[in-house]
């Protein structure tokens, strides 16, 4: 049977959002712990070099980035939707803001108060991969804190009319992504109630979703599972795309992160990029990325 496997670590904010998404949807899953710094050889065997967290594996379909993970979760189990009415899919844009513009301010708050909260190896990793050199990053923390607070004030004001969740009476993707940043700031002692009692109550409601039914797997189990299965998610190249099926391409995140993944293009649309690649440890895998925020170039 094809399994739903989340590669993550407990402190990962994006990982937390996806654990809650699995809990909310009631999808049972396997939990594979990955390191919080590179190298991540087992993860790279699956992804081809993408080492961010989380990654979702379904058999030998591999989903890099929470945007394609939630899209896939919606297809596995439509209800409850991560995009409840009346906000509907517009919630994706709030989720995206929280995972991009509002994320770095949360990182600043979480890591900046006490630089020793993380190891030297962690700072070195983040410097190499994300340009987060502590000499440059830490002086930005006061500004990042103002941005975190300004974003939190938006959440507070959006909830001021007494609604239970950001889009109305039902929880969705947007809530999970906003919540993850407030939780992350908790590493430095910040509290949801810093933004008032309505934000604190909203936070507790999201917390109470839990992670659903899951069991721990080793990284080796996940790789063996990929070897034993074949990719199944349907993909296609949209008409008018600048690339054709079978083109050798590289996919790289729009960021200082030098990591890229190379393979044969088999899917391209406004929402998703899919490449096929092979690794002896996992066999043939289809690696999926969101189109938004990724650079596709000929390899
Ligand atoms: N846009 C990505 C961002 C993922 C991301 O930046 N994750 C952080 C952890 S929460 C990460 O990978 N940090 C580096 C690492 O864990 O090695 C997504 O939505 O999944």
Q: What is the pLDDT of residues 237-277, one digit of tens each?
A: 999 999 999 999 999 999 889 999 999 999 999 999 999 99
64 Cβ inside 6 Å of ligand 1: no
Q: State the CATH number of the domain containing residue 143.
A: 1.20.1050.10
Predicted pLDDT at 115: 81
Of the pLDDT bands very low, low, confident and very high (cuts 50, 70, 90), residue 2 is confident
Q: pLDDT of 25-59, one tens digit each?
A: 999 999 999 999 999 999 999 999 999 999 999 99
pLDDT tens-place string over residues 120-151 = 999 999 999 999 999 999 999 999 999 999 99
Residue 85 near residue 97, CB atoms below 8 Å? no
Question: Is 52's C-beta closer than 6 angstroms to any atom of ligand 1?
Answer: yes
CA of 164 relative to ligand 1 center, distance in Å: 28
Domain of 164 in residue numbering reads as 88-195
Q: Where are the beta strands (DSSP E) in the chain?
A: 4-8, 29-33, 55-58, 61-64, 214-217, 248-253, 260-268, 272-279, 283-290, 294-298
Contact 202, 119 (CB under 8 A): no
pLDDT reported for residue 114 = 84
For residue 161, the CA-to-ligand 1 centroid distance in Å is 33
Per-residue pLDDT at 200:
98
Structural domain contains residue 150:
yes
Q: Please indicate, yes or no, if residue 83 is contained in any of the structural domains.
A: no
**CA 78 – ligand 1 centroid, Å:** 25
Q: Which atom of ligand 1 is nearest to the CA of 53?
A: 12
pLDDT at 101: 98
Domain contains 119: yes
155 falls within a domain? yes
DSSP-assigned states of every residue in 249-283: EEEEESSS---EEEEEEEEE-SSEEEEEEEETTTE
Dmax over CA atoms of the chain, in Å, equals: 55
Q: Could you tell me the pLDDT band of residue 76, with boundaries at 50, 70 and 90?
A: very high
Q: pLDDT per residue over 268-295, tens digit each?
A: 999 999 999 999 999 999 999 999 999 9
Residue 259 lies in a domain: no
Establish if 121 belongs to a structural domain: yes
Q: Which residues face 288 on adjacent strands?
A: 63, 274
Residue 36: inside a domain, yes or no?
A: no
Number of domains in the chain: 1
- Could you tell me if residue 161 is inside a domain? yes
Task: Tell which one of 7, 9, 12 to mutate to probe ligand 1, the residue whose CB is within 8 A of the most ligand atoms.
Answer: 12
pLDDT for res 1: 84
CA dihedral 85, 290, 102, 7 (to 10 degrees): 100
Please give the distance, rounded to the nearest whole angstrom, from the Cα atom of residue 19 to the centre of ligand 1.
Answer: 14
């Amino acid at each position: 049977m094809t399994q739903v496997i989340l590669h993550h670590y407990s402190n990962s904010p994006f990982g937390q959002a996806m654990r809650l998404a699995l809990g909310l949807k009631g999808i049972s899953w396997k939990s594979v712990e990955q390191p919080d710094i590179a190298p991540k050889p087992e993860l790279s065997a699956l992804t081809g070099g993408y080492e961010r967290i989380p990654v979702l594996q379904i058999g030998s379909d591999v989903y890099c980035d929470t945007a394609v993970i939630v899209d896939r979760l919606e297809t596995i189990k439509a209800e409850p939707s991560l995009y409840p009415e009346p906000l509907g899919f517009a919630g994706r844009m709030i989720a995206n803001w929280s995972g991009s513009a509002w994320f770095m301010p949360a990182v600043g708050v979480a890591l900046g108060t006490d630089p020793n909260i993380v190891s030297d190896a962690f700072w070195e990793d983040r410097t190499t991969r994300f340009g987060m050199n502590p000499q440059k990053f830490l002086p930005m923390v006061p500004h990042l804190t103002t941005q975190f607070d300004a974003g939190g004030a938006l959440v507070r004001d959006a909830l001021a009319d007494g609604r239970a969740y950001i889009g109305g009476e039902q929880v969705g993707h947007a809530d999970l992504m906003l919540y993850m940043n407030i939780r992350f700031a908790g590493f430095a002692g910040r509290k949801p109630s810093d933004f008032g009692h309505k934000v604190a109550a909203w936070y507790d409601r999201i917390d109470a979703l839990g992670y659903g039914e899951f069991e721990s797997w080793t990284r080796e189990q996940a790789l063996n599972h990929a070897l034993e299965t074949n990719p199944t998610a349907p993909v296609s190249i949209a008409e008018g795309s600048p690339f054709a099926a079978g083109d050798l391409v590289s996919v790289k995140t729009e960021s200082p992160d030098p990591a890229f993944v190379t393979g044969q293009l088999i899917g391209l649309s406004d929402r998703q990029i899919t490449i096929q690649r092979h690794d002896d440890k996992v066999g043939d895998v289809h690696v999926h990325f969101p189109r938004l925020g990724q650079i596709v170039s000929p390899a």
